[in-house]
Amino acid sequence: MAKSIAIVGGGPKAYIPDLKSFDHEERIWIGADQGAEVLLEHDICPDVSIGDFDSVDQASLEKIKERSIQFSPYPNEKDETDLELAINQALNWNPEHILLFGVTGGRIDHSMANLQLLYPLLKKGVRCTIRDHQNQVELAAEGEHTLKADHEFPYVSFLPMTLEVTGLTLQGFYYPLQNAHLPYGSTLCVSNCLIHNTGTFSFRSGILLVIRSKDLTNRG
């Protein structure tokens, strides 16, 4: 079992944080299409490079082939996106946690599809986090969850991803809640923050998108 796998997609490079700060010996790195190029630019050799590689030029493709431990090319016409191929590859290692970089920004259809890929991972019991220079995003199922204060990402928002979320309770937050009902489309829980070192959120049913973020003026 791999404890943590990081996948880098081909989203706009300006949205991707410094990947070396996430690099350690136990982490497996997968580059999806242009994400493999990004890894090399961050001086990280991909454990796996996968996709149709239609977003890189021939010179970059040769470098990816040369420096990847495993190179898995696919045709342009396929049912899965490059990111989905990378996630399926990651699941072969039975990871506890998957980190996704380079999957936000740019085309909104790609960003929305990538957010939706969190759902099947949630159902499989695999924690998955989308990370860019301004946001950290996860899905949460019903139950009680603990959040630790994070000075890099001070704001916390909760968005319903199902038709409703019931019984939402927030403790340790600037705007507390008790047994609240969130219908789909509600903005009630946008831009909250913790007032203690830890806080909890719990709910009875539904799925929440938990977004931790910062303003660009606070970019670290």
Give dist(CA 83, CA 112) in Å, integer.
13
Q: Are 114 and 87 in contact (CB under 8 A)?
A: no
4-133 CATH pick, 3.40.50.10240, 3.40.190.10, 3.40.50.620, 3.30.1360.20: 3.40.50.10240
- pLDDT at position 148 is 96
Give the residue range(s) of CATH 3.40.50.10240 domains in the chain.
Answer: 4-133, 138-218
Which regions of the chain are under pLDDT 70?
1-2, 217-220
pTM equals 0.92
Q: Which pairing describes strands 155-160 and 135-148: parallel, antiparallel, or unpaired?
A: unpaired
pLDDT digits (tens, 9 = 90+) for 122-159: 999 999 999 999 999 999 999 999 999 999 999 999 99
What class does CATH assign to 138-218?
alpha beta
Those residues whose C-beta lies under 8 Å from the C-beta of residue 144, and which sit 6 or more positions away, are 200, 201, 202
- pLDDT at position 220 is 42
Structure tokens at 183: 């219908």
Dmax over CA atoms of the chain, in Å, equals 57
Q: Which pairing describes strands 177-183 and 164-171: parallel, antiparallel, or unpaired?
A: antiparallel
Give dist(CA 86, CA 98) in Å, integer.
11
pLDDT digits (tens, 9 = 90+) for 183-192: 999 999 999 9
